[in-house]
Amino acid sequence: MADYTSVKGPDLFSRQLNNRNFLSPAGFKFTLTKAPKVDFFSKSVSIPNLTLGAAIQTNYLRDIPVPGDKLQYGDLDIDFFIDENLENYLEIERWMRALGYPESLEEAVDLNPENTTLLGAARSDGSILVYNSSFNAIARITFKDLFPVSLTPVPFSADVTDINYIVATATFKYTIFNVESLLKNES
C-alpha cells in the first residue's frame, strides 16, 4: 500500500487524474493507406494486446520471474460493413491474393520493401484516431507494415426477416504499433 503521508502540496494532486470521463468505444476512426474503402465502413477495431515474455531467475528457495526482452504484438482485427458493390471486400481479397497465390503476374505485388507505390507495395501503414467524449482527437495509434492474413466468409441467406448488413473481419499482421498522445501538455 502506498504511503502518501510524506507527499505534500502540488505533488499530491499530480497523482490524480485530470479527466474523470470514461473513454467511449464509438470514438474512433480507422485509416488504411492501401485500402481506403475499408476504413470508410469500419465498424470496430481494437488496439491489439501486448505480451512481454518473462525469464526465470533460478534461486535455491524459489524461481523468480524477471521481465523478458521481447514484446509480442497481437493481431489487428478490423470489422467493416461490406458495401453493396463489394469494393471494400475486394480490396482486401485482391491484396491477399497478390501476396499469396496470384493467377497472373499482373495480380502479384512487388515484395521489395523499397517499392513504396500504393499499388506495388506488399505492406501498408494504418492508424486508429481515438476521440474523447467531445469528439476531439486525443491519441493516434500508428501501425507499421500491415498486411492481411485472414478475411472472414461472407454469409448470404434467403430466409432473413430483418436486414442485418453483412460485416467482414480482416486480420492483419504488422511489425510494430506506436501510441502518440495528441493532448497538449497542460503543466
Say what the pLDDT of residue 179 is: 95
Per residue in 125-183, pLDDT (tens digit) is: 999 999 988 888 999 999 999 999 999 999 888 888 888 899 999 999 999 999 999 98
Residue 166: which of 90, 44, 83, 46 has the closest Cα? 83
3-state secondary structure of 88: helix
**Residue type at 55?**
A
Most confident among 12-21, 61-70, 93-102 (mean pLDDT):
61-70
pTM, rounded to two decimals: 0.77
